[in-house]
Protein backbone atom coordinates (compact mmCIF):
# COMPACT_ATOMS: atom_id res chain seq x y z
CA UNK A 1 0.00 0.00 0.00
CA UNK A 2 1.12 3.33 -0.90
CA UNK A 3 0.54 6.21 1.40
CA UNK A 4 0.22 9.69 0.07
CA UNK A 5 1.53 12.52 2.14
CA UNK A 6 -1.11 15.13 2.91
CA UNK A 7 0.42 18.60 2.89
CA UNK A 8 -2.11 21.16 3.97
CA UNK A 9 -1.40 24.77 3.36
CA UNK A 10 -2.12 27.23 6.15
CA UNK A 11 -0.73 28.99 9.13
CA UNK A 12 -0.42 27.93 12.70
CA UNK A 13 -1.91 29.56 15.75
CA UNK A 14 1.54 30.69 16.89
CA UNK A 15 2.17 32.47 13.58
CA UNK A 16 -1.16 34.32 13.90
CA UNK A 17 -0.36 35.35 17.48
CA UNK A 18 3.09 36.67 16.50
CA UNK A 19 1.58 38.65 13.60
CA UNK A 20 -1.16 40.19 15.79
CA UNK A 21 1.39 41.10 18.49
CA UNK A 22 3.67 42.76 15.90
CA UNK A 23 0.78 44.78 14.45
CA UNK A 24 -0.22 45.85 17.97
CA UNK A 25 3.29 47.03 18.81
CA UNK A 26 3.67 48.97 15.54
CA UNK A 27 0.25 50.59 15.99
CA UNK A 28 1.06 51.68 19.55
CA UNK A 29 4.23 53.33 18.26
CA UNK A 30 2.47 55.10 15.36
CA UNK A 31 -0.58 56.54 17.17
CA UNK A 32 1.25 59.27 19.16
CA UNK A 33 2.97 60.44 15.97
CA UNK A 34 -0.34 60.59 14.13
CA UNK A 35 -1.89 62.53 17.00
CA UNK A 36 0.90 65.12 16.82
CA UNK A 37 0.55 65.30 13.03
CA UNK A 38 -3.18 65.92 13.34
CA UNK A 39 -2.58 68.65 15.95
CA UNK A 40 0.05 70.22 13.70
CA UNK A 41 -2.36 70.28 10.75
CA UNK A 42 -5.11 71.79 12.91
CA UNK A 43 -2.73 74.51 14.08
CA UNK A 44 -1.59 75.28 10.53
CA UNK A 45 -5.21 75.48 9.34
CA UNK A 46 -6.18 77.81 12.17
CA UNK A 47 -3.15 80.04 11.65
CA UNK A 48 -3.59 80.26 7.88
CA UNK A 49 -7.31 80.98 8.18
CA UNK A 50 -6.65 83.89 10.55
CA UNK A 51 -3.78 85.14 8.38
CA UNK A 52 -6.00 85.15 5.29
CA UNK A 53 -8.68 87.11 7.15
CA UNK A 54 -6.10 89.70 8.25
CA UNK A 55 -4.90 90.04 4.66
CA UNK A 56 -8.50 90.34 3.46
CA UNK A 57 -9.16 93.12 5.97
CA UNK A 58 -6.04 95.03 4.94
CA UNK A 59 -6.63 94.68 1.20
CA UNK A 60 -10.29 95.69 1.64
CA UNK A 61 -9.22 98.83 3.51
CA UNK A 62 -6.85 99.78 0.69
CA UNK A 63 -9.24 98.87 -2.13
CA UNK A 64 -12.31 100.58 -0.70
CA UNK A 65 -10.33 103.41 0.91
CA UNK A 66 -12.22 102.94 4.19
CA UNK A 67 -11.42 102.07 7.79
CA UNK A 68 -11.84 98.26 8.13
CA UNK A 69 -11.92 96.43 11.47
CA UNK A 70 -11.39 92.78 12.41
CA UNK A 71 -12.81 91.67 15.79
CA UNK A 72 -13.61 88.44 17.69
CA UNK A 73 -17.20 87.52 16.82
CA UNK A 74 -20.02 86.51 19.10
CA UNK A 75 -22.40 86.21 16.12
CA UNK A 76 -22.26 86.87 12.36
CA UNK A 77 -23.11 90.54 13.01
CA UNK A 78 -21.59 91.39 16.43
CA UNK A 79 -18.20 91.54 18.09
CA UNK A 80 -17.67 89.39 21.18
CA UNK A 81 -17.64 90.49 24.79
CA UNK A 82 -14.57 88.37 25.62
CA UNK A 83 -12.31 90.81 23.90
CA UNK A 84 -9.06 88.84 23.77
CA UNK A 85 -10.33 85.38 22.73
CA UNK A 86 -10.62 84.82 18.98
CA UNK A 87 -11.22 81.06 19.05
CA UNK A 88 -14.96 81.38 18.36
CA UNK A 89 -14.51 83.15 15.03
CA UNK A 90 -14.01 86.67 13.74
CA UNK A 91 -15.78 89.41 11.91
CA UNK A 92 -14.52 91.92 9.32
CA UNK A 93 -16.59 95.04 8.84
CA UNK A 94 -16.38 98.55 7.45
CA UNK A 95 -16.00 100.80 10.49
CA UNK A 96 -16.82 104.25 9.13
CA UNK A 97 -17.37 105.83 12.57
CA UNK A 98 -14.27 104.08 14.04
CA UNK A 99 -16.05 102.86 17.18
CA UNK A 100 -14.86 99.24 16.83
CA UNK A 101 -18.41 97.85 16.65
CA UNK A 102 -20.42 96.95 13.55
CA UNK A 103 -23.40 99.29 13.29
CA UNK A 104 -26.55 98.80 11.21
CA UNK A 105 -25.32 101.07 8.41
CA UNK A 106 -21.84 99.48 8.22
CA UNK A 107 -21.21 96.61 5.82
CA UNK A 108 -20.07 93.20 7.11
CA UNK A 109 -17.24 92.15 4.78
CA UNK A 110 -16.70 88.66 6.19
CA UNK A 111 -17.65 86.41 9.09
CA UNK A 112 -15.52 83.37 9.82
CA UNK A 113 -16.48 80.67 12.28
CA UNK A 114 -13.20 79.22 13.53
CA UNK A 115 -14.72 75.84 14.38
CA UNK A 116 -11.40 74.17 15.23
CA UNK A 117 -11.45 72.52 18.63
CA UNK A 118 -8.52 72.68 20.99
CA UNK A 119 -6.71 75.72 19.58
CA UNK A 120 -6.74 78.80 21.81
CA UNK A 121 -6.38 82.14 20.05
CA UNK A 122 -5.64 85.18 22.19
CA UNK A 123 -4.63 88.70 21.26
CA UNK A 124 -2.21 90.87 23.12
CA UNK A 125 -3.57 92.93 25.98
CA UNK A 126 -5.74 95.91 24.97
CA UNK A 127 -5.90 94.73 21.34
CA UNK A 128 -9.40 93.37 21.07
CA UNK A 129 -9.76 94.85 17.59
CA UNK A 130 -7.41 95.10 14.65
CA UNK A 131 -8.20 97.96 12.31
CA UNK A 132 -6.64 98.99 9.02
CA UNK A 133 -6.59 102.49 7.59
CA UNK A 134 -7.17 103.23 3.87
CA UNK A 135 -3.38 103.35 3.35
CA UNK A 136 -3.06 99.77 4.65
CA UNK A 137 -1.51 100.80 7.95
CA UNK A 138 -2.65 99.28 11.22
CA UNK A 139 -4.59 101.53 13.55
CA UNK A 140 -3.16 102.08 17.06
CA UNK A 141 -0.11 99.92 17.91
CA UNK A 142 1.43 96.54 17.12
CA UNK A 143 -0.80 93.53 17.79
CA UNK A 144 0.24 89.99 18.62
CA UNK A 145 -2.18 87.09 18.28
CA UNK A 146 -1.07 83.89 20.06
CA UNK A 147 -2.18 80.47 18.79
CA UNK A 148 -1.82 77.86 21.52
CA UNK A 149 -2.26 74.11 21.55
CA UNK A 150 -2.77 72.79 25.10
CA UNK A 151 -1.24 69.35 24.43
CA UNK A 152 1.68 70.30 22.20
CA UNK A 153 3.37 73.59 23.23
CA UNK A 154 5.98 73.07 20.50
CA UNK A 155 3.22 73.89 17.98
CA UNK A 156 2.41 77.32 19.48
CA UNK A 157 2.62 80.16 16.96
CA UNK A 158 1.92 83.88 16.83
CA UNK A 159 0.92 86.43 14.23
CA UNK A 160 2.27 89.96 14.59
CA UNK A 161 0.66 92.96 12.91
CA UNK A 162 2.95 95.97 12.88
CA UNK A 163 1.91 99.64 12.73
CA UNK A 164 2.77 99.86 9.04
CA UNK A 165 0.36 96.95 8.36
CA UNK A 166 2.98 94.25 7.84
CA UNK A 167 1.66 90.85 8.90
CA UNK A 168 4.08 88.09 9.85
CA UNK A 169 3.93 84.76 11.67
CA UNK A 170 6.51 83.38 14.06
CA UNK A 171 7.19 80.36 16.22
CA UNK A 172 5.90 80.82 19.76
CA UNK A 173 6.88 77.49 21.29
CA UNK A 174 8.54 79.10 24.32
CA UNK A 175 5.28 80.62 25.49
CA UNK A 176 2.90 78.82 27.80
CA UNK A 177 -0.62 79.88 27.08
CA UNK A 178 -3.04 80.53 29.88
CA UNK A 179 -6.75 79.92 29.36
Summarised one tens digit per residue, pLDDT across range 48-107 is 999 999 999 999 999 999 999 998 888 888 887 756 788 778 899 999 888 888 888 999
To the nearest whole number, what is the mean pLDDT of the chain?
85
Let me know if residue 138 belongs to a domain: yes
Residue 28 in any domain: the answer is yes
Handedness of CA 18, 23, 29, 31 (dihedral sign): negative
For residues 56 and 35, give the distance between their C-alpha atoms in angstroms, rounded to a whole number: 32
Task: Please give the share of the chain, as a percent, with pLDDT higher than 70.
Answer: 89
**What is the Cα–Cα distance from 151 to 53, expressed in whole angstroms?**
26
Owning domain of residue 166: 14-66+116-171
Give the model's pLDDT for residue 2.
65
CA nearest neighbour of 91 among 164, 107, 127: 107
Look at residue 99 and tell me if it is in a domain.
no
Hey, which of 117-121, 133-137, 170-174 has the most confident mean pLDDT? 133-137
Of the two residues 3 and 135, the one the predictor is more confident about is 135
CA distances from 80 to 38, 106, 137, 154 (A): 29, 17, 24, 29
Residue 124 located in a structural domain? yes
Could you give the CA distance from residue 13 to residue 55 in angstroms, rounded to a whole number?
Answer: 62
Number of structural domains in the chain: 1
pLDDT-derived band at 134 (thresholds 50, 70, 90) equals very high
Give a yes or no: residue 30 inside a domain.
yes
Assigned domain for 86 exists = no
Q: Rounded mean pLDDT of 14-31?
A: 88
Q: What string of DSSP letters covers 24-52?
A: HHHHHHHHHHHHHHHHHHHHHHHHHHHHH
Judge whether 83 lies within some domain.
Answer: no
Q: What is the CATH number of the domain that holds 153?
A: 3.55.40.10
Amino acid sequence: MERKMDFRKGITLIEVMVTVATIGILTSLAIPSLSHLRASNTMATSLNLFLSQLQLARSTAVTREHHITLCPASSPTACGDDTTSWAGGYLIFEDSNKNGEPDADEEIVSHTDQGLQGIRIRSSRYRSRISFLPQGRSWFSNATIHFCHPQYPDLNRKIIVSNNGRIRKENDSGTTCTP
